[in-house]
Amino acid sequence: GAGVSQSPSNKVTEKGKDVELRCDPISGHTALYWYRQSLGQGLEFLIYFQGNSAPDKSGLPSDRFSAERTGGSVSTLTIQRTQQEDSAVYLCASSLQGYSNQPQHFGDGTRLSIL
């Protein structure tokens, strides 16, 4: 597609439920990144994929968070047993290759609200 596509755009769920967020990167981009941004805060790095592998998972805040990428394209971020502190905007970005000299292009994000 023309840009990074994320779905859903908004998600409201009850505490304790599992949620799955989806990211479809720019066509041909091999690197994919997940970030989290709480209201008024900076970007918090979660995980980075190069192809289907994740060289850097250091940002995942707990074992309730997991992510996968299949076919070198679409990625899903799963949060199990959601907590209220998980409420944030989850942003996905992609870049042509997984080199740090490549700019990242962001999707519009998924706004997650945990009741």
Chain positions contacting other proteins, by CB under 8 A: 31, 33, 35, 41-43, 45, 48, 50, 55-56, 91, 98-109
Cβ proximity to other proteins: between 70 and 101 the closer is 101
The string over 76-87, giving b where at least 16 C-beta atoms fall within 10 Å of a residue's C-beta and e elsewhere, is ebebeebeeebb
Torsion sign across C-alpha atoms 36, 86, 26, 98: positive
Please, are residues 48 and 33 in contact by the beta-carbon 8 Å criterion? yes
**Least Cβ distance, residue 115 to other proteins (angstroms):** 21
Give 70 or 100: the residue with its C-beta nearer to other proteins: 100
Least separation, in Å, of the C-beta of 55 and other proteins?
A: 6
